[in-house]
Amino acid sequence: MVAGMLAGAVATAVLAAGGGVGGGDGPPCHEMRVGARFSPPAAFIPSSAITYDTKLVPAGSSIEVEQRGRPGDMRVKVRVKGMKPGYAYGAHVHQKQCGADPAAAGGHYQHRVDPVQPSEDPAYVNPENEVWLDFTAGGGGSGAASARHDWEFRPGGAGSVVLHREQGGAGDRVACFTVPFAPVG
């Protein structure tokens, strides 16, 4: 019973860095995978995954984020379970960690940072310059998305994945998951 309660609060992680699959030949690689169960900001047992809208992201639903890459080839994947079936969620990597206030995660991570903040310029707010992971939850509430870029995160520049009420560039924040993103090189 206690283990089941703690599962919602504790993120599991698999982190690796080194010489790649071939045992040292080729450029270094980076792999990271974390997961957690969503809980409200004021939950008795806090979680790294926070739901701000329990109708769209029910308490107890889950998220897993994976980052893999080598210099010039970064991939980010998201998988969710227990979401509202048939709903189209926006999802993006954000600059900061999650907090009780949905705005705590800051703006979208941008490879080329818009000098005007908050950023609304389509030259900066787009899936080539940001990490967009929009998905539609299937009949069972599961969904997945991935993004690939030829650039990598700046150290300390990316801190979470935020789920939005609508797909595309933005929308109300319905959930947030703190993720230890890192440069892949």
Give the span between the Cα atoms of 178 and 49, in whole angstroms: 7
Q: Which phi and psi angles does 9 have, rounded to 5°?
A: -105, -20
Q: How many domains does the chain have?
A: 1
3-state secondary structure of 15: strand
Amino acid identity of residue 168, one-letter, is: G
Q: Is residue 106 part of a domain?
A: yes
Residue 20 lies in a domain: yes
Q: CATH number for the domain including 67?
A: 2.60.40
Express each pLDDT in 47-71 by its tens digit. 999 999 999 999 999 999 999 999 8
In a domain, 171, yes or no: yes
pTM: predicted TM-score of the whole model, two decimal places: 0.86
pLDDT tens digit sequence for 80-112: 999 999 999 999 999 999 999 999 999 999 999
Residue 71 lies in a domain: yes
- Encode 60-90: b = buried (16+ Cβ within 10 Å), e = exposed: ebbbbbbbbbbeeebbbbbbbbbbbeebebb
Collapse the DSSP code of 81 into the 3-class scheme (helix H, G, I; strand E, B; otherwise coil) and give the result: strand
Query: Domain for residue 183, yes or no?
Result: no
How many angstroms separate the Cα of 155 from the Cα of each of 52, 68, 95, 184? 28, 15, 11, 10
Position 184 in a domain: no
Whether residue 118 is preceded by a cis peptide bond, meaning omega within 30 degrees of 0, is yes
Asked if the structure places residue 76 within a domain, the reply is yes
DSSP class of residue 102 equals G
Domain that holds residue 77: 2-178
- pLDDT per position as a tens digit, 123-175: 999 999 999 999 999 999 999 999 999 999 999 999 999 999 999 877 899 99
Asked whether residue 185 is domain-assigned, the answer is no
